[in-house]
Structure 1
C-alpha cells in the first residue's frame, strides 16, 4: 500500500465562523458556516452552486435538540492521499485522495459537543457527524436527523418511493415538482412494504440539472444506524434526511463516542464520473480481515428460475401448514412439482461442470417452505434439515467429483430472531458439507414484529451475519437486506446484495425497459447487485402456462448486463434447456470476466443508455456491454483503450436489425472482427436491447481471414 498522510496542514482560528474547502483538482468547493449558531454547508462545481446553504443537526428525544446555539471550538484541515487494492472490484487499484475539514462545535447552553467532518474528493463531498466522549452527552435517542440537501432548482430525478422495507420498485423519471403527483403510481405491490410519504424517496438518488450537471446523493458506511431516506419540500426543492424508525418510532440509539454514516454528494458534468466514483468505498474503513484467500468471485447457475416463473415449487408438499418440530416430512405426500430434488440438481451440476460454472444455487432444499411467507411465523426454518427427495450428502459428493460446489440458500422469511438462533449451526453445517457461499433472503415483514428492514436493529443484524459468516470463511449474498453503502471494502465476503428490483420481476409482470440504464446510477453506487441476468426466454408462459409475464429485454441486452451490472457474483438465471437452444449466445456468459483491473465508461446517460468497457483482472482481455432503453439508438465507440501495437479478436453479440424487446427479442447476430486501438464501432441498439463484446488477445494466426473493424 502506498500511503501519504499530511496531517494538520493548518489550524483555523477558533473564532472563524466560515471556512472553505477545495477539492484536490480545484473543481469543487465546499463552504462551511455558522449562521446564527446553526451549522450549514454549501457546495459548488466550477463556481456554480450545486447545493445551496443547507443546515445540519439533530432532533433528540426528551432532551434539547442539536440544531442551533453552536460555536466553533476548533477546526483542523488535512490532506490525504493513498492507493489501495480491493480484494475484488471494478478497478484493481483505487486512489483515495481528498481534502478534509474537521469542525469542532460546542452547544454553549448545554455544554455538549458535536463535530462535523467533511471530506472533499475530486468527484464529490462526504460528511458525517461525530460525537466525542463527553460528560453531558453519553446515551441519547435520535428523533430525526435534520441534514438538508438544498437543491438549486426543479431538477430531473430518477427515483423510487421512500419505503422502510423495500427498494423493489421500478424507477420513475420526473421533475422534482412532480414526485407527489406520481407517487401512487410508483408504489407497486410487494411482500413487505412501508411507504411513508408522498414526497419521500430513497438513496442513491440520481439527479440532472437543466444545464447538464449530474448530481447523486447517497450515504456510505451504514453501521449501527438507521438507513437514510430523503423527504422533499416541493416548494423549495430542499431534501431533508428521513431515518427509518424502529417499532416504537425512535430513529437511532447512540452512545458517545460515536460517528454517523457519511452523507455523500457527487457532482459532475460527465455522467460517467458518477458511475466510476469511488467515494462510497473510500469513506468506508480499510479491510477488516488478515486472510482473504477464501473470498473469490463466483459465476453460478441455479435451481431458481423455474420456481420464480411458477413452473415448479419451493415446497415439497401441498399442505396448508407445517411445524418443523412436529411434522414428519417423510410421510407427507409430495406434490410432484418440487424443484430441489436430487435428479434435477444433478442435471444442473452436470450443466455447470460442462460449461465452467463454479457453483449451483439450490433453493427449496430445506423443510418448511409449505407456509413460509406472510404468516408472521417465528420458527419457520432450521436451515439444517433437507426434504426427503434432496440427497444432501450424495449431491455434495457428486458436485465435488464434477469440480463444482453447491451454493447454500437461507431464506429467513423475515424472522431475524430465528436466523440468529440457528446461525452458528447453519454456518458450521455449510462448512461440513463443502458450501462456501450463501444466498440469504428476508422476504416478508421483520420479526421481531414492528421492526423494519431498514431500521437500526435490522441493519445491525445484516452486518452481524456477514461478520459471523467470515468466522466460517463463508461469502454472503443478501437479498431483501438494506441497500449497500460500500461496506464490501471492509468486509469483502459481502460479495453481493439484491436490495432492488431484480431480474425476478421480469417473471412478475416485467421491468421497465429503462430499468438497467438507471440502476448503475442509483442502486450500484453503494456496491454490487446480484441482478441475476441471462434470461433468454422472454415469454414466461413457455415455462408456466398460467404466467403471462414478459421479460422486457432482448437476448443481446441480457448479455450486456454481465458488464453493465457490476458484480463479482454473476448468475446465469435461465434454465439449461433454454441455453441449449442458444449456445452461440451463451458463449459470452461463459467467457465474460468477473473481476476487473480497469473499468471505463464509453457512453452514459441515465434513463437512456450505458456502455462500459472492462479489462479482466490479470489478463489482457476486455469486455464491453451496452444497455439501451425503449428507443432505438446507435452506439458510437472507439477502442482506444486497447494496448498500442496489438491486435485482438473481437466477437460482437448484437441485436439484429429487426430486434425489439416485445416484438422480436430473440433476434441477435454474432460477428467476429480483428480490432486494434484505432478501431471504431457504430452499432444499432434495438428498443430494450443492446450489445456485448468480447475482445481477446490471441495468436495472429487466429486473426487470419477476419475483417478489420
Structure 2
C-alpha cells in the first residue's frame, strides 16, 4: 500500500460555547463537492455539488445512556483537515486495486467524541467516533437527509405484511424498487439502504452505510410526507425465542429501550451520500468497500472463489437416472460429476441435508453419506459447501466450524438471520471470524445488505440481500424481474456482491413466464442469463439450473463455466437505471462484456477503446431473431473487433448480450 499525506491543516478553538456558531468546510479532491458543517447547539451539514446545494441534514447526534450526547450542545475543541492519496488492495472484488483519494475533516469535541467527514470525488461520508475511556449505551441516533425539492426516488421498502415498525425489523432485505416522489412515500413503511434519489440534470444521490460493526443497520423512512428521509434503527433485543422457518431463527419477543452497548473508542458506521452525474458511475462505485475496515486476515491464499453447481432452484432435477433424485448421496454424486465435467469448483448441499426441525448441524439425514460425498468430490477436484440455518449454526458455532473443516467442507451458506439489530450484526462478525479460523468460506443469505464485511473478512465471499432469481419459482408476471435486473446494479450492488443465482436454461417472455417449482424458468432471454454472469458482481456464483438442462445446452454451459468470478478491472460502459446497462470486466488479458435491457428491444453503440492497441476477436452470444417470442433463441458467432473499436449490438425485449474478447 502506498500513502501520501498531502496537506495537514489545524484549527484550534478551546472550549468554544456551543451557542457560538461555527462553520467548517472541506472539499473533495476535484473540488466539485463541498460540505459545510455548522456547529451550534446542534451539528448540521450542507452538501453542495458544483456550488449547487443538493443535500442538507437535520441535527446529527447520538444520545447516550449516561445522559450525555454526541452533537447536542457539544463544546468544539478543534478541526483537522488532511488530504490522502493512496492505492488499496482489494481481495475477491471487481478490481484488484482501488484508488482511495479523499479529503478528511475531523472535528474534535470536549465531550469525548470526534465527528469525521470524508469527501471523495464521488461522494461524502461521516461518522462518529468515541474517544472516552468508558463503555456506554447508545439510546438514540439522530440522522435526517433533506432534499431541496420533491425529487423522485428508487425505494426498496421492507417486504412484509407487518404494519408496525417493530414488525418490519424482521425481514429478508429482498424487494423490488418503488419509484415515487419523496413526498409520496408510504409514511408507515421502512426502506433499507442503499436508496437512490433522482435529482435534476442527471444527478443522483445514493444514501448508504459502511463499516457497520456492533451497531444496528440503518433504515430510511419518511414519516412526515415532506422531502426529508429519516434514519431508523432496530433497538437491542431483550428477549428472543427459537422459531420462524423450520425452528431455525431467533424471533425477537421484546426489545431494550436502547440501540447498542458500545465500547470505549467505538467507531460508528459511516453514513454515506454518493453523488453522481451519470447512472453508469453509480453502477461502478467503490465507496462502501473503501470505507470498510481493512482485512483482518493476514493470509487469504486459502480463499478460493468460483462457481457452484446448485440443486435447490432446480428442485434436485435429474432425469434418465436409476435412482429417485432428491436429498441423497446418489443425487449429489451426479451433481459432483456435472461440476467436474464443467470445471465448476463447488457443489452446495442446500437445506435438507440436516434433519429438519432439530436445528442441529450434527444430525445428518440417513440418505446422505457426507464423508463419502466429500471423498468422492476430492477425486473429481470438486469441493462441498453446506447450507446452514442461522440458529443451528449460531448455537454450536465453533464446534460446527471445527468439525466440518476437519471433514473437508470448504464453507457455509448461512441463512435466515432476517434482522440487522446489534445482536445480529455481532453474529455476522463472529461467524466470519470463526469460519476464517478454520479456513471456511461464508455466503450470507437471508440477511442485511453488505457494508464492507467482505473487505474486513475476505472469506465472506458473497451476500444475498437481493430479490434474486429464486423469486421466479413461485411468481408470474406480477414480479417484473427484467426491470429489476437493470435497476439493482445501480443501487443494491453499490453495497457489495449479490448472490442472485442466475443461469436458467428455461427462458420465457413476459407472456409465457409462470412460476413452476419443479421446472422453474427465468424472465427474459437466454442471452440475458449469460450476460448476468458479467453484469452482476458475485465472487461465489451459482449455476442454478439442473445438470440435465445444462447438458442439453452445452454451448451456453461452456461459456458460463469459463467466466471468472473475481476481476482485475471493471468498467461500466453505459446505462440508465431501469433501462439498460453494459459492463465489461477484465481478467488477465481477457475481457468479458455483458449487456442487459428492460422489456424494450434496444440497440446500443459501444466504444471498446478500453482494449487499447492490438488485434482482438470476440466470441459473441446475442439474442436470436425470434427471441421476442421464443426467449431461448440465440445466435453465437465469432467476429473481429473493428480497428476503430466501435461496435453496435442489438437486444430483444427482456434481452441480453454476452461477449468474450481476447487477442488473436
Q: Is the pair's TM-score, using the shorter chain for normalization, greater than 0.5? A: yes
Which region of structure 1 is more displaced relative to structure 2, 96-105 or 359-368?
359-368
Residue 500 of structure 2 is matched in structure 1 by: 531
Cα distance between partner residues in 1 of 2:382 and 2:263: 47
SS in 1 for 2:56: strand
Residue 187 of structure 1 is matched in structure 2 by: none
Cα distance between partner residues in 1 of 2:455 and 2:617: 34
Q: Deviation digits for residues 97-126 of structure 1, max 9, x if unmatched? A: 1111111234xxxxx343210010110011
Residue 30 of structure 2 is matched in structure 1 by: 25
Q: Deviation digits for residues 144-164 of structure 1, max 9, x if unmatched? A: 311121112222211111442
Measured at CA, do residues 558 and 389 of structure 1 come closer, stay the same or move farther in structure 2, by a change above 3 Å? same
SS in 2 for 1:287: coil
Which region of structure 1 is more displaced relative to structure 2, 542-551 or 393-402?
542-551
1:293 to 301, 316, 325: 301
Q: Is the 8 A contact 2:508 2:522 kept in 1?
A: yes
**1:439 partnered with 2:375:** no
SS in 1 for 2:353: coil
Residue 630 of structure 1 is matched in structure 2 by: 599
Residue 619 of structure 2 is matched in structure 1 by: 651
**1:40 partnered with 2:44:** yes
Tell me the CA shift for residue 642 of structure 1: 0.6
Normalising by structure 2, report the TM-score: 0.89
Tell me the CA shift for residue 66 of structure 1: 4.6
Residue 185 of structure 1 is matched in structure 2 by: none
**1:680 partnered with 2:646:** yes
Residue 372 of structure 2 is matched in structure 1 by: 394
Q: Deviation digits for residues 288-331 of structure 1, max 9, x if unmatched? A: 111110112111112222339xx79xxxxxxxxxxxxxxxxxxx
Q: Deviation digits for residues 576-595 of structure 1, max 9, x if unmatched? A: 11112222222220221222
Cα distance between partner residues in 2 of 1:547 and 1:438: 25
Q: Is the 8 A contact 2:12 2:77 kept in 1?
A: no
Residue 242 of structure 2 is matched in structure 1 by: none
2:95 to 91, 111, 117: 91
2:395 to 421, 427, 433: 421
Q: How many residues align?
A: 622
**1:347 partnered with 2:334:** yes
Tell me the CA shift for residue 253 of structure 1: 2.2
1:458 to 424, 427, 448: 424
Which region of structure 1 is more displaced relative to structure 2, 668-677 or 62-71?
62-71
Q: Is the 8 A contact 1:54 1:149 kept in 2?
A: yes
Cα distance between partner residues in 1 of 2:407 and 2:643: 48
SS in 1 for 2:201: coil
Tell me the CA shift for residue 172 of structure 1: 1.7
Tell me the CA shift for residue 338 of structure 1: 6.5
1:592 to 540, 563, 567: 563
Residue 161 of structure 2 is matched in structure 1 by: none
Residue 383 of structure 1 is matched in structure 2 by: 361
Residue 495 of structure 1 is matched in structure 2 by: 461
SS in 1 for 2:559: helix
**1:140 partnered with 2:137:** yes
**1:282 partnered with 2:290:** yes
Cα distance between partner residues in 1 of 2:616 and 2:63: 60
Aligned CA-pair RMSD:
2.4
Residue 356 of structure 1 is matched in structure 2 by: 343
Measured at CA, do residues 160 and 675 of structure 1 come closer, stay the same or move farther in structure 2, by a change above 3 Å? same
Q: Deviation digits for residues 118-145 of structure 1, max 9, x if unmatched? A: 01011001110112115xx742232x31
Cα distance between partner residues in 1 of 2:62 and 2:441: 37
Cα distance between partner residues in 2 of 1:118 and 1:395: 52
Matches for 1:59-78 after TM superposition, within 5 Å: 59-60=63-64, 63=67, 66=70, 68-78=72-82
Q: Deviation digits for residues 649-684 of structure 1, max 9, x if unmatched? A: 211111123323xx4221211121011562322222
Cα distance between partner residues in 1 of 2:379 and 2:4: 49
**1:172 partnered with 2:178:** yes
1:474 to 440, 448, 454: 440
Q: Deviation digits for residues 354-397 of structure 1, max 9, x if unmatched? A: 1110111112453322xx4xxxxxxx332133222212222212
SS in 1 for 2:200: coil
SS in 1 for 2:552: coil
Cα distance between partner residues in 2 of 1:68 and 1:350: 63
Residue 205 of structure 1 is matched in structure 2 by: 195
**1:239 partnered with 2:229:** yes
Where structure 2 has 5 or more consecutive residues not aligned to the other structure, the ranges are: 159-167, 238-254
Measured at CA, do residues 528 and 677 of structure 1 come closer, stay the same or move farther in structure 2, by a change above 3 Å? farther
Residue 116 of structure 1 is matched in structure 2 by: 115
Cα distance between partner residues in 2 of 1:160 and 1:365: 31
Q: Deviation digits for residues 249-290 of structure 1, max 9, x if unmatched? A: 532222332221000011011122222222111111222111
Cα distance between partner residues in 2 of 1:665 and 1:490: 41
Cα distance between partner residues in 2 of 1:455 and 1:287: 23
Q: Is the 8 A contact 1:23 1:29 kept in 2?
A: yes
Which region of structure 1 is more displaced relative to structure 2, 600-609 or 424-433?
424-433
Cα distance between partner residues in 1 of 2:462 and 2:338: 23
Measured at CA, do residues 626 and 77 of structure 1 come closer, stay the same or move farther in structure 2, by a change above 3 Å? same
Cα distance between partner residues in 2 of 1:689 and 1:388: 44
Q: Is the 8 A contact 1:626 1:692 kept in 2?
A: yes
Cα distance between partner residues in 2 of 1:6 and 1:532: 44
1:564 to 516, 525, 535: 535
Residue 640 of structure 1 is matched in structure 2 by: 609
Which region of structure 1 is more displaced relative to structure 2, 64-73 or 340-349?
64-73
1:580 to 551, 574, 591: 551
Cα distance between partner residues in 2 of 1:677 and 1:233: 56
1:223 to 199, 210, 213: 213
Cα distance between partner residues in 2 of 1:43 and 1:599: 29
Which region of structure 1 is more displaced relative to structure 2, 533-542 or 198-207?
533-542
Tell me the CA shift for residue 549 of structure 1: 6.8
Q: Is the 8 A contact 1:517 1:608 kept in 2?
A: yes
Measured at CA, do residues 389 and 225 of structure 1 come closer, stay the same or move farther in structure 2, by a change above 3 Å? same
